[in-house]
Chain A
Amino acid sequence: MSAPSKSRENILERVRAATKTVALPPAELAAAFASIPRDYIRRGGMTVTACHERFIERLREYDAEVVETTEEELPATIAAQLAGSGKHTFVAPAGLPAAWQAEGFEWKLDGGLSAAEIEKAEGVVTAAFCGVADSGTIVLHHSATEGRRVITLLPDWHLCVVYASQVVETLPEYFDRCGQTPGLATYISGPSATADIEMTRIKGVHGPRFLHVVLVRDSGQ
């Protein structure tokens, strides 16, 4: 076995030799990348309402529960969802709005909770960065309102609040919204699932078995 640094040089040398006739000088790389044909659909053509309906339909198709509400009704809707879950202990990301933390339930505010503590909680409530209608996807960038990755993983029940203005029709539209690239991101499309045994889709293997989405209509809609 050669020393690690030597392998690095050897591999890069072999790669460079192998691509000698096709590799571009660094100055031309960006232009070549820009000329890659991208004739796929970037912006969807749906009306806002149709786009939201598509988002809800696709989420439901993958076994997520969806309810719609308004900004004014949001705290009450969250409270009703929590009550309906039959669960009592919930994790809240550090930045979760106080109004979302309904009374009558036990809240564990995540300021670096241990995995064991999070695992004891029955559910979690978070915001989202974006929703993608085409694939029924919830995007988390793990900001203060979306929480650390672990809190949306260990509890069995996840309630995610998505604002209608956050919903885009196509995946490329989400990438356009990113601005700065996220260091951490999780895309969730329906609850944890497997089809490893005879291709039978089973909901809930290791991640949350229940995904609830509250879609908040913007005023005037």
Chain B
Amino acid sequence: MSQGVYHPVLDPAKARPFPEAVLPVLRNPQLRKNVAHAIDVIQAKRGKLVVEKTDWQALRTAGAAIRTHALENLGAYLTQFEERCTAAGGVVHWAADAAEARQIILNLLREENASEVIKIKTMTSAEIQLNPFLEAAGVRTYETDLAEIILQLGEDEPSHIVVPALHVNRAQVREIFARRMGLKDLSDDPRELTNAARNYLRRKFLDIPTAISGANFLVAETGSVVVVESEGNGRMCLTLPRTMITLAGIEKVLPRFQDLEVMLQVLARSATGERMNPYTSIWTGVTPGDGPQKFHVVLLDNGRSSILAKKTERQTLKCIRCAACMNACPVYRQTGGHAYGSVYPGPIGAILTPQLMQMHHAQTLPFASSLCGACYEVCPVKINIPEVLLELRSQVVNQERREAGRLFDPMYLGLRIANLIFSRAWIFHTAQFFGRIGLGVFTRKDGWIHSLPSVGGKWTQTRDLRGLPKQTFHGWWAARAAKPSGEAK
């Protein structure tokens, strides 16, 4: 296998701007069909289960408050988690950035003499591009989540944070499995494909003594780690190996064990449209005789603490990675995940990715939204994504304005002129007079403008613009006042 093949598509530092990256997707009807189908199924299931839950809004309010409280007091809860986890036999490591996290994990694997490692799906490991790094260092990585196997064997990238291979259909999965597992007679029945994955992994679960996981939650009160999953591959990785390494963002902390009563009620319903995911595993350090006897947690910052510092943006870190926002997003529904150029696509990705990049990359993502607010409405922890999108947009614009080359950029020039025009009534009326003459040149007989030059073309290339009416409001108002009856045409 050649998992060392590196796919720059989901590296925000190298990805193309969203408006460019999206073009090949929009021209791929198969991919769009696959994405729309998957999303329609999840949305329908979620909708039914949310209606059934009469206290849904109260759960959202509590979920949001718990996450806010945890983040506002993150320092206290992180150190509490560290203390309790350590007391229970775990070893806590701290990684300031992706490079440090990768190195810590590699060092731990070297201590174990591990040449192979089994993995539970973790978006955080994709964020730090762990697999290509480990492969290059000679450690073979085996993803064990069905969707992740499809992607790893197909040398593809995740396009969704909960259902990462939703852009791949059964025929494509059959082709990948038949080729990579050497199963010529495989059919495209999902049951048979799933069974192929089960057989492919069974021995690896039993033989490979080292595993890597992410975490859905860390519990400060107990030092416990929580992983939710469906297939049982997570339980395999958490139970059978000798050594377990968990990689978790520092924001994943919950204050108390009992907070799970809120999070677990909203997470599966939001994520997969299930009342509860088939398996939830909770463990605390090391338990003699049960599961891995060596346990490491790597706490990753990688830009999170700088997000935490900003009042409006801080809420980004409340995210529990349910993906409800991408399922509800009209933009994601059309584009799928790859166009976002990040392992975190959709509305949450549009706010999280540029911030994790300290606003040095992915600046087009905050604009990849219609601001319709559907993401905010479905978010189980009430992240006001549109509010953060607007804040980031203003930061991007301010950043661009300061660039020297932008001084004569038609858009910024136009906006500066507009600023002047709107500042005085007489300038406005004068501009209006000349503007009407100017636009009149482009107005066709049908009263519409079909094409404008320069920056105006950005509007007319996708939609027409109505020509200006014959009379202005001011003109109409003046004419109305002049008539004694007060009626004007």
Residues of A at the B interface (CB closer than 8 Å) are 1-2, 4, 7-8, 10-12, 14-19, 22-24, 26, 29, 32-33, 36-41, 58, 62, 112, 115-116, 119, 132, 134-137, 142, 148-150, 153, 171-172, 174-175, 178, 181-200, 202, 204-208
Contacts and interface: CB of A to CB of B under 8 A. Distances in A.
Contact of B71 (A1, A19, A190): A19
A182 B282 contact: yes
Given A186-B282, A206-B231, A198 B66 contact: no
Given A149-B291, A196-B147, A205-B198, A39 B190 contact: no
B126 to A, nearest CB: 16
A33 B255 contact: yes
Contacts of B201: 206
B79 interface: yes
B202 to A, nearest CB: 8
A39 B58 contact: yes
Given A150-B290, A206-B236, A185 B96 contact: no
B62 A36 contact: yes
Contact of B308 (A19, A40, A58, A190): A19
Interface of B: 34, 37-38, 41-42, 54-55, 58-59, 61-62, 65-66, 69, 71-76, 78-79, 88, 93-96, 99-100, 103-104, 144-147, 150, 163, 165-166, 169-170, 173, 190-191, 193-194, 197-198, 201-202, 205-206, 221-222, 224, 230-233, 235-236, 238-240, 250, 255-258, 260-262, 264-265, 272, 274-285, 287, 289-291, 299, 301, 305-306, 308-309
B267 to A, nearest CB: 11
B37 A198 contact: yes
A8 B395 CA distance: 30
B281 A188 contact: no
A37 B290 CA distance: 37
A115 B100 CA distance: 34
A150 B274 contact: no
Contacts, number: 245
Contacts of B236: 153, 206
B61 A39 contact: yes
A14 B37 contact: no
A192 to B, nearest CB: 4
A168 to B, nearest CB: 11
B486 to A, nearest CB: 55
Nearest to A110: B289
Contacts of A2: 96, 100
Nearest to B222: A181
Contact of B62 (A37, A137, A171): A37
10 contacts: A24-B72, A36-B62, A40-B55, A40-B59, A58-B275, A172-B261, A184-B291, A186-B280, A189-B278, A205-B198
Given A2-B100, A36-B66, A196-B163, A18 B276 contact: no
